[in-house]
Structure 1
Amino acid sequence: MRIAVLGAGALGCAIGGTLAKAGNEVVLINRNRAHVEAINRHGLVMRTPEGEHVVRTAAATTAQGLAAVDLVIVLVKSFHTHEAVSNAVALVGPDTMVLSLQNGLGHEDILAELVGREHVLAGKTYVGGVLLAPGRIISGVKGKETLIGELDGHVSERARRIATTFNRAGLVTTVSDNIMGTMWDKLLINVSTGALSGITRLPYGPLYRIPEIATTAIAAVQEAMDVAAASGVRLSYSDPRDAWLKASAGLPDDFKTSMLQSLEKGSITEIDFINGAVVRWGQRCGVPTPVNQTLVACIKGIERTLA
């Protein structure tokens, strides 16, 4: 399959590199020129629990000059979605599938506006990645599930094709007939660790050894579950502790959440699309979300100091 990963940072490289290693024709698109040049010159270096290996694949800073592909995987930061996809419409041909695997809620509507709803699929992934240096990542793929689906919930042949391609590469992938529930399931994972890791500046190892952090994380997830229930969303979780524990399953102690990685780079975060989404949905359905509101306020304060 011909695949373009739009937003090939740590996570995009973990997924794109895994697909390329399996023989797919992959191009990794990232605005960081040093990262792209390192991949093109030396290959993508992927560190996994089994060891370190190099994957040869194409990389580019923009989609300019690239031909249409079979699948565009969108993994840019939430606040860059409109700009990034607007500049990459040449990748979308008549039969191209556009799959968002981004954190948070609301990206599918942006994609539908830009490329047409008929091209868009939604998904969530529990794969992890950490950028170590230009062209070098930690890849957390093993045992991490990816779920994809059509926006209207029907199980399509094209979604099955994507799942088959992913599974052959070692990316455990399931087609969901409840994509909104799937998106909320992943949101719970991000709610549990993202903001708390960013506020404390702790990777997963020490983060999970502090009982007070676990208590706060579980409370934040419970709020999100209450909001989902009030909104008629069908979740696969019944215990907030399960989301907290799943977030770190199979990942090394030095794994850092994407929110922490953003703050360490001096960048703003996706807090508005994660804990902020819980707050907004809670306001709509009348469910209080004081823990998530506090986490949003703390991250906003840290972003202000960085600015």
Structure 2
Amino acid sequence: MKIVVLGAGALGCALGSALTEGGHEVWLVNRGQAHVNAMKQHGLKVRENGVDRFVKVHAATTCAEVDLGTGPVDLVIVLVKSFHTREAIESAKPVFGKDTVVLSLQNGLGHEDILAEVVGQARVLAGKTYAGGVLIGTGHIIAGTQGKDTHIGELNGQVTERVTRIAEVFNAAGLLTHVSENIMGTMWDKLLVNVATGALSGITRLTYGELYQLPEIEATAISAVAEAMAVAKAKGIALSVTDPKQPWVKAAAGLPDEFKASMLQSLEKGSITEIDFVNGAVVRWGAKLGVPTPVNLALVACMKGIERGLCHVSAKKDNA
């Protein structure tokens, strides 16, 4: 299968390296020139269980650099930050063939609607992954894929040949993947995990090893998840989760102590986060459905304050 990972940061590289080692032609597209150059020159350096290895990968800064000599792309995996979704999928159109499928594995809610507006709903699959990754240097990641579930599905809940084939490809590459007949429930299940740890990791600047040592943080996380579960219930979403502590526990399962949530990684790079698509989505839906979400609102407010601070720092640097 010919695959483009659109937004090949830490997670995209973790998934892409596994699929590459599974025998597929995978193109890792990342706008960072230094990161791409390192992968082109040396291969992608992947650390698992404390051991580094090099994986020879295809890397590019834009889809225009993807070699179409072997034909158009079969699958585009979208992993860009939520606020870059439309721009990114527009830029990927040159690699599309008539049967190219688009799979979003992004955090949060709402990406599928944006993708469908650009490429048509018939091409779009939804999915969520509990795999993770940490970028620890140019061309160097920690992969957190072992034993971490990925769920994919058609937007209408049907189990089709194409979604089954993609799941088979992922599983053969060591990525534990399931086809979901309730993809909206699956997406909300994953949202609960992001709600549990993303904002709290970003606000406190703590790795998972540190985050999970503080009972006050655990209590706050569980309260935020409980609010999100109440919103999902009011919205008629069928969750697999029954206890708000479950997403908190699941978030860290199998990940090393030095792992950092994606929101913290964004802040450390001086970037805004996906808070609007995670805790912010809970707050918005809660307001629409009349479900109080004070904990999530407080987390959103704190993250917005941190992001505003980053803007001030950036402006000062630009004016220096």
- Report the TM-score range of the alignment, normalised by the length of the smaller protein: over 0.9
Counterpart of 2:171 in structure 1 is: 167
Deviations 1:122-180 (A, max 9, x none): 00000010001110000001110000000001111100000000000000000000000
Measured after TM superposition, the shift of residue 91 of structure 1 is 1.9
* Residue 29 (structure 2) pairs with residue 22 (structure 1): no
Within 5 Å, give how 1:15-94 maps onto structure 2. Answer: 15-49=15-49, 51-66=51-66, 67=68, 68-94=72-98
* Residue 144 (structure 2) pairs with residue 140 (structure 1): yes
Counterpart of 1:247 in structure 2 is: 251
Within 5 Å, give how 1:175-186 maps onto structure 2. Answer: 175-186=179-190
Alpha-carbon distance in structure 2 between the residues aligned to 1:37 and 1:3: 20
- Give the alignment partner of residue 197 of structure 1, picking from 182, 197, 201: 201
- Return the letter of the residue paired with 2:76: V
Counterpart of 2:113 in structure 1 is: 109
- Give the alignment partner of residue 233 of structure 2, picking from 229, 238, 253: 229
Alpha-carbon distance in structure 1 between the residues aligned to 2:289 and 2:152: 27
Measured after TM superposition, the shift of residue 112 of structure 1 is 0.5
Structure 1 spans left out of the alignment, 5+ residues: none
Deviations 1:210-237 (A, max 9, x none): 0000000000000000000000000000
Alpha-carbon distance in structure 1 between the residues aligned to 2:247 and 2:193: 5
> How many corresponding residue pairs?
307
Alpha-carbon distance in structure 2 between the residues aligned to 1:222 and 1:92: 41
Deviations 1:64-102 (A, max 9, x none): 143320100000000000011111111221101100000
Alpha-carbon distance in structure 2 between the residues aligned to 1:208 and 1:45: 28
Measured after TM superposition, the shift of residue 22 of structure 1 is 1.1
Alpha-carbon distance in structure 2 between the residues aligned to 1:22 and 1:54: 14
Alpha-carbon distance in structure 2 between the residues aligned to 1:99 and 1:107: 10
Measured after TM superposition, the shift of residue 119 of structure 1 is 0.6
Please tell me whether the aligned partners of residues 92 and 115 of structure 1 are also in contact (alpha carbons under 8 angstroms): no
* Residue 157 (structure 2) pairs with residue 153 (structure 1): yes
Alpha-carbon distance in structure 2 between the residues aligned to 1:168 and 1:259: 30
SS at match of 1:64: helix
Counterpart of 2:3 in structure 1 is: 3
Counterpart of 1:220 in structure 2 is: 224
- Return the letter of the residue paired with 1:31: R
Structure 2 spans left out of the alignment, 5+ residues: 312-320
- Return the letter of the residue paired with 1:22: G
Sequence identity, in percent? Answer: 66
Alpha-carbon distance in structure 2 between the residues aligned to 1:206 and 1:57: 33
SS at match of 2:141: strand
Please tell me whether the aligned partners of residues 72 and 91 of structure 1 are also in contact (alpha carbons under 8 angstroms): no
Measured after TM superposition, the shift of residue 294 of structure 1 is 0.2
* TM-score, normalised by the number of residues in structure 2: 0.95
* Residue 123 (structure 2) pairs with residue 119 (structure 1): yes
Measured after TM superposition, the shift of residue 254 of structure 1 is 0.3
Measured after TM superposition, the shift of residue 296 of structure 1 is 0.1
Moved over 4 A (4+): none
Alpha-carbon distance in structure 1 between the residues aligned to 2:97 and 2:119: 10
Alpha-carbon distance in structure 2 between the residues aligned to 1:304 and 1:50: 36
Counterpart of 2:278 in structure 1 is: 274
